[in-house]
Amino acid sequence: MTFAYEIPLLILLLVTAGGAILMKDLMSAVLLLGCYSFFLALVWAWLGAVDVAFVEVVVGAGLATVLFLLTLFGTAPKDGRLRRPPPPLAALVALPLLGVLMLYAAKDLPEFGDPNSPASTHISPTYLQQSFQDTHTPNVVTSVLMDYRSLDTMVETVVIFTAGIACVLLLRRKVS
Amino acid sequence: MIQPHDSIIVQSLGRFLVPVVQLFGLYVLFFGQYGPGGGFVGGVILGASMILTILIFGHDASRSRLGKKLLHGDGVGMLIYAGVGGLCLIGGGEFLNYAHLDIPGLETASRRSLGILLTQIGVAVDVAVSAISIVFSLSAEEIIEDSMNV
């Protein structure tokens, strides 16, 4: 039953990802990447991760697309130097084997939403039961991110800060 | 260098849309404790409204509004975030343990709620300013022709 919505979404994901790789016109590739992010956000929302879906829409489909487009304005919409050599034979053999290995390993993963899986028995019940009394924050995701795991979030903010500074320093040109 | 857009439709729609987007960004930022959203997404939406301003009204228009000093404001969000942690230290607790924020008249849970809100504002400022400064630096000057032929 659950596959009714997932399979078309996953096919759309594959199609948009493959199209973004194979497209010669870089502008179309960027827009296809935006579509990919949007479908990925639909998958997240379908799995119940609304916060992640929100971030994926805003950052993946919105901000990243704009940044890619601005980069294209600064360079060229079509890269003529792009020559794709055929993939080496080792990759053609190794990558399907890797995929088979991953599918084999995926059989041992717990069922989606299994209450007895390790992820939902270790510390998650504590967060789910205690977070409102502890922090007066109804959204458990926010209280975990910003309160229980606050130091992690601070270092993530440092990462964004560093990325912004590095981009500005690398792209700095003299402003006329 | 991005020039102002010619079309009057785009200009008028932009004048209408930018405040709406900013309002929505603030809503997402301050509603993150009650629904999906939070500092990161709110900051990106606020930054996106500024990017929309740049794309519609040109590079110079928004530069005069925001000021080139914006590029140097990248660390303000970090300062807010780490400053909240420092206030917790001053209040006698561990770093970023909001229960020790030294605010009289608030119980522990409300202090932690307030700490979450303050740090979210810090994240939002940091993300928004980073996004805008990246866009500024990407659109700062015209194409360098030589770099395409290397």
Note the pLDDT of residue A88: 85
Residues B74, B80: Cα–Cα separation, whole Å: 11
Q: Is A23 exposed, middle or buried (0-12, 13-18, 19+ CB in 10 A)?
A: middle
Which of B34, B78, B136 faces A139 most closely, judged by CB atoms?
B34
- C-beta atoms of B37 and A51 within 8 A: yes
Which of A62, A161, A176 faces B48 most closely, judged by CB atoms?
A62
Residues B63, A54: Cα–Cα separation, whole Å: 29
- C-beta atoms of B39 and A146 within 8 A: yes
Contact status of B78 with chain A (Cβ, < 8 Å): yes
Note the pLDDT of residue B62: 54
Contact status of A80 with chain B (Cβ, < 8 Å): no
Place of tokens 């130097």: A81
Note the pLDDT of residue B147: 45
Structure tokens at B77: 């969000």
In a domain, B149, yes or no: no
pLDDT of residue B149 exceeding 60 = no
Q: Give the mean pLDDT of A25-38.
A: 90
pLDDT of residue A34 exceeding 60 = yes
Residues A169, B74: Cα–Cα separation, whole Å: 12
Please tell me which residue of chain B has the smallest CA distance to A151.
B96
The range of the structural domain enclosing residue B13 comes to 8-142
pLDDT of residue A174 exceeding 60 = no
In chain A, which residues have their Cβ closer than 8 Å to the Cβ of B119? 146, 150, 153-154
pLDDT of residue A176 exceeding 50 = no
Which of B34, B109, B115 faces A138 most closely, judged by CB atoms?
B34
Please name which of B120, B74, B77 lies closest in space to residue A150, comparing C-alpha atoms: B120
DSSP string covering chain B, please? -PPPP--HHHHHHHHHHHHHHHHHHHHHHHHTTTSS--HHHHHHHHHHHHHHHHHHHHHHHHHHHH-GGGGGGGGHHHHHHHHHHHHHHHTTS-TT-GGG---TT--HHHHHHHHHHHHHHHHHHHHHHHHHHHHHHHTSS---GGGG--
pLDDT of residue A105 exceeding 60 = yes
pLDDT of residue B119 exceeding 60 = yes
Phi-psi domain of A84 (left: phi exceeds 0; alpha: psi -120 through 50; beta: other): beta
Label residue B150 by pLDDT band (50, 70, 90). very low
Q: Give the mean pLDDT of B66-79.
A: 72
pLDDT of residue B118 exceeding 50 = yes
Q: B131 or B58: whose pLDDT is higher?
A: B131
pLDDT of residue B64 exceeding 50 = yes
Q: Give the mean pLDDT of A101-125.
A: 85
Structure tokens at A159: 């990462």
In chain B, which residues have their Cβ closer than 8 Å to the Cβ of A54? 28, 36-37, 41
In a domain, B92, yes or no: yes
Single-letter amino acid, residue B114:
L
Contact status of B116 with chain A (Cβ, < 8 Å): yes
In a domain, B135, yes or no: yes
Give the gap in angstroms from C-alpha B55 to the nearest C-alpha of chain A: 10
Note the pLDDT of residue B144: 47
pLDDT digits (tens, 9 = 90+) for A47-60: 888 899 999 999 98
Contact status of A173 with chain B (Cβ, < 8 Å): yes
pLDDT digits (tens, 9 = 90+) for B93-110: 888 888 888 777 778 888
Note the pLDDT of residue B143: 45
- C-beta atoms of B120 and A176 within 8 A: no
Q: How many domains does chain B have?
A: 1
Q: Which of A77-91, B33-47, B113-127 has the lowest mean pLDDT?
A: A77-91
Q: B73 or A15: whose pLDDT is higher?
A: A15
Please tell me which residue of chain A has the smallest CA distance to B147.
A75
Handedness of CA A62, A67, A72, A78 (dihedral sign): negative
Q: What was the ipTM of the complex prediction?
A: 0.81
Please name which of A141, A153, A144, A58 lies closest in space to residue B78, comparing C-alpha atoms: A153
pLDDT of residue B65 exceeding 60 = no
In a domain, B60, yes or no: yes
Please name which of B41, B63, B39 lies closest in space to residue B50, comparing C-alpha atoms: B63
Q: How big is chain B by its Cα radius of gyration, in Å?
A: 19
Contact status of A50 with chain B (Cβ, < 8 Å): yes
Q: Is A25 in a helix, a strand, or coil?
A: strand
pLDDT digits (tens, 9 = 90+) for B7-28: 899 899 989 999 999 999 999 9
Residues contacting A6, CB < 8 A, separation 6+: A43, A46
CB pairs < 8 Å spanning A and B = 154
Phi-psi domain of A113 (left: phi exceeds 0; alpha: psi -120 through 50; beta: other): left
Note the pLDDT of residue A80: 65
Give the gap in angstroms from C-alpha B44 to the nearest C-alpha of chain A: 7
pLDDT of residue A38 exceeding 50 = yes
